[in-house]
Structure 1
Amino acid sequence: MRADRLMALLLLLQRREHVTAAEVARELEVSERTARRDLDALGTAGVPVYSVQGRGGGWRLVGGARTDLTGLTAAEVRALFLVAGPASAVTPAVRSALRKLVRALPEPFRDQAEAASSSVVVDPRGWGWAHVEHRTPDHLDAVQDAVVRGVQVRLGYVDAAGAASTRTVHPLGLVAQGASWYLVGDTAVGRRTFRVDRVSTVEPTDDPVRRPDDFDLAAAWRAVADEVDRRRTPLTVRALCTSDGLDVLRIGFGGRLDVGAATADGRVEVVVRGRDERTVAGELAGLVAWVEVVGPPGVREHLAATGAALVARYR
């Protein structure tokens, strides 16, 4: 079930003495079949909701209409907010629901619930590499628990070159991107990002995480992702593009395209980033109707060679 529906359903159950599938369907704008499935899913997940059969039946929360959700354990609260947290970054309704639900939680659960809701960022962009099968890393739960509880960990790690090390890490948050999970944390030598599937051991300590007051997980990850993109695409190519070709460039280059000012002849200055001159020339060769490359000269030379080869082949 969608995270925003889950949150809305919990709040609806909290406001009313009981609800029927028809009422849930109207409130959440779903079918009655979907409403029943969502209600059943809440109970299966451990939320203290039960059904009453017969005339006047429906679904209720254990403890009555004004329950403070004390039927939820601390682990269940963390799980709920971990599910809903990433959606709240893009869905205002979920953000609002999270704030309301935090106020309804027992005091001991609130800090961990708020920590859980902000501990994960989902980045829909991939690195542009080949498809990789999704697999949950062995130590993801342990790393996530340390982030939510705010404790330092001694992390065993194997880097891309195969070198093993152990270091003390202040875990600040997790990022899910494509098939991979990443831990963002502070270390003795500065902030680092660790791929969770390369973590070999996780040993929590009793020492609290030193979390910067102004830390923003989404902003920190954007800086990491932008740096990776810059390293993968170090070449910048200057070009002029017709106004009707901008959408074609955006589709082809995405975040590797920067659009500048219009020129006197009505075209637009653009900059595209790529891995090397030959590769970028190959990407731009089919866009000759819209794009004229200004520099560097090496890209123009590759384009000219490609054009000559095409003429020779298809003359």
Structure 2
Amino acid sequence: MRADRLIQALLLLQGRPQITAAELAAELEVSVPTARRDLEALAMSGVPIYPTRGRGGGWRLIGGARTDLTGLTQGEVTSLLIGLTQSDTASPERIAAMRKLVRAMPEPFRAGAQRVAAATVRDAPWGVTENDAAPPVVAELQRAIADDRRVQLEYRGAASIEVVPLMIGSRGVRWYLIAAPVVEGADVADESRVRTYRADRIEGSRVLSERGIAPAGFDRPRVWAEMVERVEGFRGAVRAVVRVEPWAVRALCDRFGVQAQLLDDPPDRDGRVRVEVQAHRVDALAEQLAGWTSAAEVVEPAEVRTALRELGERIAALYRGEAAESRERR
């Protein structure tokens, strides 16, 4: 709608010394003549903007005038962007909203917002994704990224550490921090000491006043892909072949994500489909498969079948004991 475009055009003018019709057209994804007409419409409606002609010309607000359409502070803008980046679905509307929000905000706000947007990843499944709530520490780490600050982490099983947060992202329901200490005597993170931390194992965090920035040319997509590949290796150390009822194949594959692979096409004579699934340990794989016994049977290896049987025996013993206690009380 044109009214939406005019508001976006005004926000862009507020955030820049000047803007050309061609630049506005690229931002709003419209033609140059349409962008020029929008700028003229703003001027005719009383907005104090004027064009400058010739090389280096464009449209600008008279005297640096500002119209605060939102009343948002820098902290509120960062919080809004954090909420958008933590959402589980990267819909076209949400992506467009983040892009427009970052581009339209005034210059002092924009750099931190761009860092948050670039350093936050919402990745593919690793199991179920019904619970979309990010741990509270995620927003705190994103604010540290926005402000170029170091953080003090209390990480389970390790001494307190001071790091520069470089990326924060999720894989399925699990959130990860990629961070590194600074180079000695500098504010820049040491790329040779980058580590991955699970957010659910961060027992405490504190944003510090000391500055901490990413190394020049830090390749976030490559670093994230390497982390995923490394964790995939841990998760896929144990494999099992499972015969699955046709109606449950898709659900089981969705549950295991990239750790599931179809082996049969078409199904066997019984209509079942063989699927290979993976996990990092035998007992973990057995626990994940225990809820699928009505729809899936483990064919191999014997270790997983044994682990499932032992798990079933422990469950049966537990509930036999509860049933006996209940009868005695009666």
Q: TM-score, normalised by structure 1?
A: 0.54
**Structure 2 equivalent of residue 96 of structure 1:** 96
Code of the aligned partner of 1:14:
I
**Structure 1 equivalent of residue 83 of structure 2:** 83
Q: 5+ unaligned residues in a row in structure 1: which ranges?
A: 1-7, 18-62, 308-315
SS in 2 for 1:198: strand
Structure 1 position 164, deviation (Å):
1.9
Cα pair 1:123 1:177 within 8 Å, conserved: yes
Distance in 1 (CA, whole Å) between partners of 2:88 and 2:153 is 31
Confirm whether residue 296 of structure 1 aligns to residue 301 of structure 2.
Answer: yes
Code of the aligned partner of 1:174:
I
**Structure 1 equivalent of residue 208 of structure 2:** 203
- Residues 287, 211 of structure 1: alpha-carbon distance in 2 compared, 3 angstrom cutoff: farther
Structure 1 position 199, deviation (Å):
3.6
- Residues 261, 228 of structure 1: alpha-carbon distance in 2 compared, 3 angstrom cutoff: same
Structure 1 position 166, deviation (Å):
3.2
Name the count of aligned residue pairs: 243
1:188-207 deviation line (CA, Å, top 9, x unaligned): 45322335643454424245
**Structure 1 equivalent of residue 31 of structure 2:** none
Confirm whether residue 259 of structure 1 aligns to residue 265 of structure 2.
Answer: no
Distance in 2 (CA, whole Å) between partners of 1:202 and 1:13 is 38
Cα pair 1:135 1:179 within 8 Å, conserved: no
Map 1:221-260 to 2 at 5 A: 224=227, 227-228=230-231, 231=234, 234-241=237-244, 243-247=246-250, 249-250=252-253, 253=256, 256-260=259-263
SS in 2 for 1:262: coil
Confirm whether residue 14 of structure 1 aligns to residue 17 of structure 2.
Answer: no
- Residues 86, 289 of structure 1: alpha-carbon distance in 2 compared, 3 angstrom cutoff: closer
Code of the aligned partner of 2:238:
L
Map 1:151-230 to 2 at 5 A: 151=149, 153=150, 155-161=151-157, 163-167=158-162, 169-175=163-169, 182-187=176-181, 188=190, 190-194=193-197, 197-206=202-211, 208-210=213-215, 212-216=217-221, 220=224, 224=227, 227-228=230-231
1:216-239 deviation line (CA, Å, top 9, x unaligned): 39x82x765675575466321124
1:78-118 deviation line (CA, Å, top 9, x unaligned): 22322223349612112223333444332333222222334
**Structure 1 equivalent of residue 282 of structure 2:** 276
Structure 1 position 272, deviation (Å):
1.7
Code of the aligned partner of 2:203:
R
Confirm whether residue 115 of structure 1 aligns to residue 115 of structure 2.
Answer: yes
Distance in 2 (CA, whole Å) between partners of 1:75 and 1:201 is 17
Cα pair 2:82 2:142 within 8 Å, conserved: no
Distance in 1 (CA, whole Å) between partners of 2:256 and 2:173 is 22
Alpha-carbon RMSD across the aligned residues, in angstroms, is 5.0
- Considering fraction of residues, name the structure with more strand: 1
**Structure 2 equivalent of residue 105 of structure 1:** 105
**Structure 1 equivalent of residue 148 of structure 2:** 150
Map 1:35-114 to 2 at 5 A: 69=68, 72-87=72-87, 90-114=90-114
Distance in 2 (CA, whole Å) between partners of 1:285 and 1:117 is 38
Code of the aligned partner of 1:173:
M
Structure 1 position 171, deviation (Å):
1.5
1:46-96 deviation line (CA, Å, top 9, x unaligned): xxxxxxxxxxxxxxxxx8999664854333332232222334961211222
Q: TM-score, normalised by structure 2?
A: 0.52
Code of the aligned partner of 1:262:
D
